[in-house]
Amino acid sequence: MQKPLVGISSCLLGENVRYDGGHKLDHYLHDTLGRYVEFVPVCPEVECGMGIPREAMRLVLAEGNIRLMTRKTQIDMTDRMKTWIDERLKALAGLPLCGFIFKARSPSSGLRNIKVYTEKGVRNDGVGMFAQGVLEHFPQLPVEDEGRLHDDWLRENFIERIFVMHRWHQLIDGGRSLKNLMDFHAGHKYLLMAHDPKTLKELGSLLAQGKGRPMNELYDTYMGSLSPALQKIATVKKNTNVLLHIMGHFKKDLSADEKSELKEIIERYYDGLVPLMVPITLINHYVRKFRPEYVMNQIYLNPHPLELMLRNHA
């Protein structure tokens, strides 16, 4: 099966494309995540025609507009960059992109808190020019910068969303129909419950009223709600609620001792004594043993490759 396509700042893969001729290799992204996704490297400054090495860039507020300028010589590179961005976004639109990882603090690729130089001083509320283009062109695409991915919870959330987007592209490739979308929704029920129970109910109502609606409109509305819902962190409390819901599917199968053991392990997870992977592993054991069809199809139990160990943090 094809791996998810993920855009990434080239320097994070060890390519010597930075202004000083160096790189910013991120070993987790290159060595670990790179085994399960296919990266699409992008370096805005090099690809728009700037050399290696080159003068460092910065964002400058001039006459009410954000400009991309060289630091020392103050040459305005904005128009060159914007022309390249328009063409690059058109090319990326032809790919089933599942996410994008940007280089933090870069004036061209940084996603948040980029320095903007003004006559009154320096602000820290800028967005890199290429990153801004990606955000506007692909509003539902999972995006993050590499710095924040060192946080266990943010990393798990982002990579989970990459694989949801991958399954979404596969859904689209299979043909847009109400049945296909309802099957997708059913499989992601508990995953969505762990992030945003309110949106889960809203999307259920949307699909219940979906008959006769234009499929493109229905799909766009669905993803327009799903994407921001999944950005919300799946907290311990919400995960515990999901685990107890899933446990309910085994009430006729488990012995009294097995029920007691599973409930105890879920409580240990809630109390922070074991990571999420512990109750998930036991539940997956019961899924293989009793094979309840509805639970077997739940993405929540296997949302991403086990080898990434994203649920091993407490």
137 and 207 together in one domain = no
210 and 81 together in one domain = no
pLDDT mean by block of 10 residues, the chain; 314 residues: 93 97 97 98 97 97 95 96 98 97 96 95 96 98 96 97 98 97 98 98 97 96 98 97 97 96 98 97 97 95 95 81
pTM: 0.95
Identify the pLDDT of residue 313.
Answer: 80
Identify the pLDDT of residue 1.
Answer: 58
59 and 104 together in one domain = yes
Q: What is the number of domains present in the chain? A: 2
CA distance 161 to 155: 10
Domain that holds residue 84: 5-150
Identify the pLDDT of residue 314.
Answer: 59
199 and 307 together in one domain = yes
159 and 248 together in one domain = yes
